[in-house]
Structure 1
């Protein structure tokens, strides 16, 4: 049963450019412009009309954009919940500009070992993450540690949790890895690993969306009865100022926005493609977290119930729970 008919999240790609070369991502290989303020301002107004509550300023590396602090300030002024994930390379330089503008600030960290983390990211960024944590805490920010879980790094959760998260009162977000397009991210997470993650998810200061586990255990999205509501729960905007459908990872079609996102979203061409969400051949078995999470939020089913406790836990820990009911 659909309980929220409108989109709730915007994945706003401010640039596809990135200063890292992660082996489990291909976005850094794409040429890209940068979003401009005029387009962003127009789009934020329309996103508000469409019912979106959360703006995820993403990339690439979003801190590469010289105006990212202005974008965040505008979104906050308009009442959006703001999120941003960074590899930490530029945060120390931009921390003062960003102070107080990001409701959910995530620092990516996938290993407690400097060399292992830097190798997976393709650049030396471990030390920058550690410095970013120190600076953020001095500024009374409370960043999350976003840990992408692979079969080979599950054992490292304990060290990061006990030595970084607990002492600093930081939330540890466990993000199970997923494959997409031609990007192979390694060995599929085993049942033992999924059970281990479930146990971690019960601990203080750990966020794991329980529905991510349930979805993987049931074989992912199924086109005959899709759980994916990517196109109707999430609006994806590219650096070229295009609406991307049904999601970034498939990117079957792009529509130039031309300063009227609200009108574009109502057109038959867009609505017809939205209706195919989760039903395309490529959607079979999909477990892409960034689209499944909002999908779980808009339709009441077994995954909604699985996601609810962890969602409430995270928003309580972050102090953003009141915004869910506005």
Structure 2
């Protein structure tokens, strides 16, 4: 039987928006199926109203995601609209298009992540389905020259743990970059053969204590506990995270389950508070597909809003990252 969580809710409003600007991608990663979906691009007019409403709902962080977000031809303007609302911005890219966009993105992304999963080009490019390793290296140098300090987002699989040391020593330390260790997660039929065993989790745990390395310890604890359990859920995806699709719909309870989509029609603030939406929010972590879930995108904000044992597990690494990046000040700015 899952252990019942003793929790005190600290924050009752959503804190994060996963804003899918497009599902299109110029890579074909083996652990993702988003790139297989047809997709439009979000419009500036819709985004402007939505970002205003996200601020009203209490959201503090907006993650412009995809697909590959740099495929959106107005991504710099989308970021500028978010900054106008005093939102903390994040963006993750495979690096292919960053050199083209670098000047226009300067100063607009608070947490810029370059994906890098192996220390050599051949293996990284094979995993990503496209030759992007050299572009990541180029992007790092361009970003640093512009005064940016990107992070390296390393998705950890059973077969690449031996590359963590080289990426840390050869890429992160010389450039004073933070290495974010992102344990692979499965959903549907994606990456269901890439589970991390106890030895792999122990390896990640040890790396998480190193200089310039961020790993949310609660991710590892959740995997040790068998993931989310519907009888005693830790997932708070519906109440912490607003998911907006490229079609300008509100997706609930999360992107990866996508049980229902609601047309936003410039009414995001009111839509989120409707009975139909809140009924789905109330089922967060309790739907059949939620059993065993370890999806980091939703667990990270879930750990941040309830004081339970996962909150305590996440706290040291959260403080460490915000200290390294200096973003803690923005969390308290209004």
TM-score scaled by length of structure 2: 0.97
Which residue matches 1:212? 219
What are the superposed Cα offsets for residues 176-221 of structure 1, whole Å, 9 maximum, x if unpaired?
Answer: 0000012125331011110111111111100000000000000000
Which residue matches 2:159? 152
What are the superposed Cα offsets for residues 90-140 of structure 1, whole Å, 9 maximum, x if unpaired?
Answer: 000110000111000000000001010000000100011010001001111
Which residue matches 1:121? 128
**In the alignment, does 2:277 pair up with 1:270?**
yes
Aligned residues: 326
**In the alignment, does 2:250 pair up with 1:235?**
no
Alignment partner of 1:304 out of 293, 311, 315: 311
**In the alignment, does 2:286 pair up with 1:279?**
yes
What are the superposed Cα offsets for residues 259-315 of structure 1, whole Å, 9 maximum, x if unpaired?
Answer: 010010111100000000000000000000010000000111000000011001101
Unaligned runs of 5+ in 1: none
- Does structure 2 retain, via aligned residues, the 8 Å contact 1:227–1:295? yes
Which residue matches 1:28? 35
Give the match's secondary structure for 1:63. helix
- Does structure 1 retain, via aligned residues, the 8 Å contact 2:22–2:68? yes
Which residue matches 1:251? 258
- Does structure 2 retain, via aligned residues, the 8 Å contact 1:19–1:61? yes
**In the alignment, does 2:111 pair up with 1:71?**
no
- Does structure 2 retain, via aligned residues, the 8 Å contact 1:54–1:82? yes
Q: Distance in 2 between matches of 1:258 and 1:223?
A: 32
TM-score scaled by length of structure 1: 0.99
Which residue matches 2:206? 199
Alignment partner of 1:316 out of 317, 320, 323: 323
Give the match's secondary structure for 1:236. strand
- Does structure 2 retain, via aligned residues, the 8 Å contact 1:201–1:208? yes
- Does structure 1 retain, via aligned residues, the 8 Å contact 2:60–2:88? yes
Q: CA RMSD in A?
A: 0.7
Unaligned runs of 5+ in 2: 1-7
Q: Distance in 1 between matches of 2:9 and 2:251?
A: 23
Most deviating of 98-107 and 70-79: 70-79
Which 4+ runs in 1 deviate beyond 6 A?
none
